[in-house]
Every structure is written in structure tokens, then in C-alpha cells.
Structure 1
Amino acid sequence: MKKKVSLFIVLTIGLFSAVGCKDDVLPKPAGYLRLDYPEARYVDYGNQCPFTFEINDKAIIKGKNDCSLTITYPKMKATIYLTYKPVANNINQLLRDAQKLTFKHVIKADDIIEQPYLNPEKKVYGMFYQVDGNAATNSQFYATDSTRHFVTASVYFYAKPNFDSIMPAASYIKNDMQHIIETLKWK
């Protein structure tokens, strides 16, 4: 009887070992990159230039003597290049140059969406461009008061332009650019 019990225990342990240690090959679930960015908090950007606006407090701003600015987002590897030019009876040329800069990207862009911006109270008039597709820039704008001031801005990423990959960052910065044009004031 002891032999039967011992044999039963050994066989039971052997059976559980054979079944319990089996490695089932299962497909791994698809992984997705999750990019979370902090909620934007805006602060006034005061400067010596003839304009002011609100900027994301996570951005790093560097200025030049001619009031051109670089607004850098190090974690997103992106920079907004903001350029100021005074208007001196050359508004038509400045408008053509700003529009030409945008439509250079038509070769790579899937679509260019134009959004006019008008704020008669602040005398800020302009156009915001959203460039969809694998273009070098995804958002651009120009703003002017038509008589004295003209500002252009465009965002560039330090990565191969693959719209699907940079879309979360591009969307985040597009919102910041829209906030810049909406809070732009002439001094």
C-alpha cells in the first residue's frame, strides 16, 4: 500500500510539473507611445520690442536686437521662430513673403488650412496656417496692424517630418501659437 501511495504521489507531482511548467507562446499586445504634456500656463512676455503677448511658461525665449525671437520647447525638440518687421509702405511685399513661405510646403503638405484672424480692438489682423502632412513646419502665422508692425511665426521640429510621430507635440505647440496671436498687442 505504501508503494501505491508513493507511486501515486510521484506520478501526481510529475503530472503537475509537466503541465504547470509549460510555456504557452502568446502574442504581445500592440504597444502605443503615450505622450503627455503638461497643461499650458501662460505668462506675459514683456520685452523692449513694439509688441507683447502671452507665452507658455514651459517655453524658453531668446531674443535678438531686431526683435526676432526663438521660442524653444526642449522636451519636444521644437522651436518657434518669430520675426518682427516694421511696415514702411511695404505691407504688400511683407504679405506676399509670408504667404510664399507657407505655400513653399505645398509639395509635402497634404492640406493647408487657412484661418483668418481679426481683432479690430487691438488692431491685430492676420492669418493662421495649419499645414497637414509631412511638411517641415506644421503651423505658421502672420499678424499686422497694416500700418506699422508685422510679425511672422513658424514652428520647426528637430526631427524627420513624419506627421504621425510628431502630431501630439505639433498639436500642443499649435495651441501655443494660436494663443500668441490671440494675445498679441502692439505697444
Structure 2
Amino acid sequence: MPTTNTPRPATTDDADDIGRGLARAFADDPMMCWFFPEEATREEGMVRYFATLLTRHYGRHGVCERTDLAASFWVAPDGRALPDDETLDEIATVLGDRAGVFRAGIAAAAEHAPPEDHWYLAVLGADPAGQGRGHGAALLRSGLARADAAGLPVYLESSKESNVPFYEHFGFTVLGEAQLPGGGPTLWVMRRAPRA
């Protein structure tokens, strides 16, 4: 059956499918490997992590889209970028003894958020089966079109240096690097100016 890379809304009913796809997409991501250091349990932990983010946070407070093999979670300027305490508590049950590392990591990343109104790209990932086939690009273009229509910049942090050129291709520039606390990985803080 052919797959489509046409963006469509993602709902909480899609949580398991999206969680599995994002777990495969982020299997070698330095931040995810830092959050889930045990290789034997990493994939299942990441499935629960991404499904929880969709059902408890971004599905309620963001704009979530998917294709057959990719997903993106966005936050509008008036949205809530950081999960609430209830969501953090649920994620803590997924992360176990790494919950403190997670909380410190997202707090440190939030310090680099720009003060200007902006769209925030929280998550973008394509299942390896869809990488290089336009799935991630289609979702990125969809979100960028919303930001451009509002005349607003887009902000993100990439935790994988090899993804930086992909975002640069779409007009993002690196504002700087942020080292996560406790020996965590580097984040590349990126911004894209609005386009007419």
C-alpha cells in the first residue's frame, strides 16, 4: 500500500502509531539516548514518552500533524510550550530515575526561548522508512506556512547536529549552542524569520 506524505491533523487516537514512528525516528538522537540510556528498554520507553506528549500536552495545547511516516508537534505563540505539572508527573513514570534529568534538560532549553512572539517546533521526526521521501519536509512546510501567514518567526532546538543542515535548507539559522546540564548533549538553537 503506498504511503502519503500529505500532512493531516494528528489526534490522540494516533498516539500509539505516532509514538512508535517517533521512537524509530529518534532512535539515535543524543537527547533521547540521554533520557533513555538503557538500550534494551529505550524504544518502548520512547514510544510511551512521545505518546504521552501527544495525548497529555501537544494534542491539547499545540498543533499536531502527521503523514503516514512522520509527525510534528508545534506550539502557537499563545500556546504552552512546556508541559504542565500533571504531564511532567506522567512522563516521570515513563522515565523513572531519569525524570530529574528530563526536568533539568527542558528547563535549560526553555531558557533559550526568544522573548518575541513565535511559533515553536517542539518535535519533528520521520520514521526511517520515510526519511528522504519528503515526509518531514512536508510537515515542516505546513508549519512554516502557518507562521509565515501570521508574520511570525519559528524557533526550535535540534539535539542532533546532522539535522542542522536540513533546517538551514528551510531558512533557519543557528543562534547558538546550549549545553544541557549534568553532562547532557548539545542543543543547536535555531530561528527562522517570517517570509512574505
RCO greater where, 1 or 2, for CA within 8 Å and sep 6 or more?
A: 2
Please identify which structure carries the higher helix content. 2
Which has the higher Rg, Structure 1 or Structure 2?
1
Q: TM-score, normalised by structure 1?
A: 0.29
Please identify which structure carries the higher strand content. 1
Q: TM-score, normalised by structure 2?
A: 0.28
